[in-house]
Amino acid sequence: MTAIAKDDHILRVEGLQKIFNQHLAEPVEAVQDVSFQVRSNELTVLLGPSGCGKSTVLRVIAGLELPSSGKIIHGDQVVNGPARSRGMVFQSYTSFEWLTVAKNIEYGMKLHAVEPVIRKERVEHYLELVGLADFRNAYPKQLSGGMKQRVAIARTLANEPELLLMDEPFGALDAETRWNMQELLISLAQSTQTTIILVTHDLSEALFLGDRIIFFSKRPATIISDMPVAFKNKKRFARKEDILSEAKYKDAEQELMRLMRSQSNI
Amino acid sequence: MIAPKKRLEIRKPIKRLTSIYLGILIWVIFFGTWQLASSLGWVNALLVPGPIDVIEALRELIFERGFVSDIFDSIWRVVISFLLASAVAIPLGILMGSFHGLESFFNPFVSAWRYLPAPSFIPVLLMWFGTGETPKLALLFIGVVFFLITMVMDYTKKIRVELLETAETLGANRNQLVRTVIIPAVLPDIFIAMRQMLAVTWTYLVIAEIVASTTGIGAMMMRARRFLHTDEIMAGIMIIGVLGLLFDLFFRYLHRKLFAYLY
């Protein structure tokens, strides 16, 4: 790892390009030339049409893929692989089904030999935060999709990452649960002060959750627009219906919809 | 009350009790037909004794002729060789399913051995190991271990990559990944593979005992053949069936106990 001078950005993506070499097919360029920075405590949404390469950007940030050129600098280190400091929540359910809810949440801390007393405290804390206190001894098989995602989020947060990376975390959930989980995420972002980067293709989700939205072109991904969600005035809304009464909400959604249409493959 | 329209019966659920009765019924029909065929003289009763005669022969074997020790010899052979095969196949299969290098190294070898029929080794096994327990255990081992390795490897490879990636982003190192994700994730499937391969072990057992043994269920059946005791041969088959079923039930019970979180 190379040491890099510090500034107020916790993460810097510099000239990221990602090409996938395929078996029996031409190489695919998923990400072309992407650069952006992320500040501490910011909730950044990566938005773009399906299959545009935004998830690849997130996976490279996580260290699950290495860039073909360019680099990711997290803190003062160049990312060269996955690390505890960059926790990831996936769209598909990743609860360890052989562990109870409490043991799932404890999992990361156990890997790093966190003291049992602290472990227990944090498990309780996060069980409470995600509203699963009554399910601490349940196994994932017994949980609904939304609850499984709560387990995944609690497990990642309990491991105290500097960055929480989320790849369409609510994409598999029904509308009501998704809405509910979005509000939960806002409250978690507030209470844990975690920096979050979230990938979605859902416009209303992007507007509700994002402090800032980075919009990607269709594949190969380049940044088309990178702006704070202006009408929110740096506020976060706790309830989804409150955002609808904002005068500028419709304009913002309309703007995103136009962008989305301009990049549509269909 | 609305009189329901007569619906097609396809995939219509039936009562549990009905299902059990139906399961028993086929056996009743089977044994009934067999008994009839034998007592009405449709078949030669010397070559095809009826189920009552077979059960009588079994009773005699067990209570008067020390057949129980043969049964235990056979069980012992199956259990020991199966444990040995599992002790090799499970760790190796998990490692091959986890690391491509190990897969590339071992798999061409393991795959080839799967296609060599284990009984074809009997002559050399007898030459190498004589007539004691070793050649029998070796035959069962060879017959099972390569299949078990492949099954365990395939199940290990089927572990969803997101589970591994999640653990990695939580900071798991390679050892921790194998110990805390791969092994617990694949264990229930390994049990299923073991259950299937145990049935195969029983098949090879009988071959081993028929060809080269003086004890065990298979040996008893070969002795009975010399004296045209068809009833005893059939009693041996029946015992193998019952033992197979018991082992299967035991594995199913163990699966439910050990992996209760799946049910």
pLDDT in tens, B157-176: 999 999 999 999 999 999 99
How far is it, in rounded angstroms, from Cα B111 to Cα B114? 5
Contact B262 A63 (CB under 8 A): no
Query: Running DSSP on this structure, what letter comes out for residue B2?
Result: P
How far is it, in rounded angstroms, from Cα B229 to Cα B247? 28
Task: Give the best residue of A97, A98, A126, A160 to mutate against chain B (max B CB count within 10 A).
Answer: A98
Contact A88 B165 (CB under 8 A): yes
Contact B166 A112 (CB under 8 A): no
Question: Is the omega angle on the peptide bond into residue B184 within 30 degrees of 0, that is, cis?
Answer: no
Contact B171 A96 (CB under 8 A): no
Tell me how close the Cα of B51 comes to any Cα of chain A, in angstroms. Answer: 46
Confidence of residue B180 (pLDDT cuts 50, 70, 90): very high
User: What is the sign of the dihedral through the CA atoms of A48, A233, A146 and A203?
Assistant: negative
Q: What long-range pairs does A145-148 form, CB within 8 A, spacing at least 24?
A: A145/A93, A145/A172, A145/A173, A145/A174, A145/A177, A146/A173, A146/A177, A146/A180, A146/A181, A148/A93, A148/A95
Which pLDDT does position B7 carry in this prediction? 78
Nearest Cα residue to A123 out of A111, A110, A140, A113 = A110
Nearest Cα residue to A95 out of A142, A61, A63, A53 = A142
How far is it, in rounded angstroms, from Cα A158 to Cα A156? 6
Contact with chain B for residue A194, Cβ under 8 A:
no
The H-or-E segment that residue A62 falls in is helix A54-62
Cα angle A103-A141-A209, degrees, rounded to a multiple of 5: 75
Render each residue's pLDDT in chain A as its tens digit; 266 residues.
444 444 578 999 999 999 999 888 899 999 999 999 999 999 999 999 888 889 999 999 999 999 999 999 999 899 999 999 999 999 999 999 999 999 999 999 999 999 999 999 999 999 998 999 999 999 999 999 999 999 999 999 999 999 999 999 999 889 889 999 999 999 999 888 899 999 999 999 999 999 999 999 998 999 999 988 888 888 888 888 888 888 888 889 999 999 988 888 66
Q: Which residues of chain A make contact with B176, given a CB cutoff of 8 A?
A: 111
Cα angle B235-B241-B244, degrees, rounded to a multiple of 5: 140
Contact B185 A108 (CB under 8 A): no
Which pLDDT does position A265 carry in this prediction? 67
Structure-token pair, residue A71: 């680099």
Contact with chain B for residue A200, Cβ under 8 A:
no
Task: Give the best residue of A95, A99, A101, A107 to mutate against chain B (max B CB count within 10 A).
Answer: A107
B207-219: per-residue pLDDT in tens? 888 887 888 999 9
User: Which backbone phi and psi does A197 adopt, to 5 degrees?
Assistant: -120, 125
- Identity of the amino acid at A161: P
Contact with chain B for residue A129, Cβ under 8 A:
no
How far is it, in rounded angstroms, from Cα B44 to Cα B236? 20
Which pLDDT does position A7 carry in this prediction? 54
Which pLDDT does position A2 carry in this prediction? 41
* CB neighbour list of residue A89: distance below 8 Å, 6 or more residues apart: A149, A152, A153, A156, A164, A165, A166, A167, A169
Nearest residue of chain B to residue A63 (CA atoms): B169
Q: How far is CA B32 from CA A60, B21, B26, B54, B206, in A?
A: 69, 16, 10, 13, 27
The H-or-E segment that residue A197 falls in is strand A195-200
Q: Which residues of chain B make contact with A141, given a CB cutoff of 8 A?
A: 261-263
Contact A90 B165 (CB under 8 A): yes
C-beta neighbour count of A166 within 10 angstroms: 26
Which pLDDT does position B82 carry in this prediction? 95
A112, A139, A161 ranked by CB distance to B261: nearest: A139
> Taking the CA atoms of chain A, what radius of gyration do you get in angstroms?
19
Contact A64 B259 (CB under 8 A): no
* CB neighbour list of residue B200: distance below 8 Å, 6 or more residues apart: B143, B144, B147
Query: Running DSSP on this structure, what letter comes out for residue A134?
Result: G
Nearest Cα residue to A154 out of A188, A193, A200 = A188
Contact A97 B180 (CB under 8 A): no
pLDDT more than 70, % of chain B: 100
Residue with the bigger pLDDT between B145 and A230: it is B145
Q: How many helices, marked H, and strands, marked E, lie in chain B?
A: 11, 0
How far is it, in rounded angstroms, from Cα B34 to Cα B30? 6
Average pLDDT, chain B: 92
Tell me how close the Cα of B246 comes to any Cα of chain A, in angstroms. Answer: 27
Contact with chain B for residue A158, Cβ under 8 A:
no
Tell me how close the Cα of A20 comes to any Cα of chain B, in angstroms. Answer: 18
Contact with chain B for residue A148, Cβ under 8 A:
no
How far is it, in rounded angstroms, from Cα A260 to Cα A245? 23
Contact B163 A98 (CB under 8 A): no
Which pLDDT does position B214 carry in this prediction? 84
Tell me how close the Cα of B259 comes to any Cα of chain A, in angstroms. Answer: 8
CATH T-level fold of A9-94+163-262 = Rossmann fold (3.40.50)
| A 43-82 residues inside an 8 A Cβ radius of B | 62-64, 82
| Segments making up each domain of chain A, as ranges | 9-94+163-262
CB A59 within 8 A of CB A198: no
Which pLDDT does position A266 carry in this prediction? 64
> Taking the CA atoms of chain B, what radius of gyration do you get in angstroms?
24
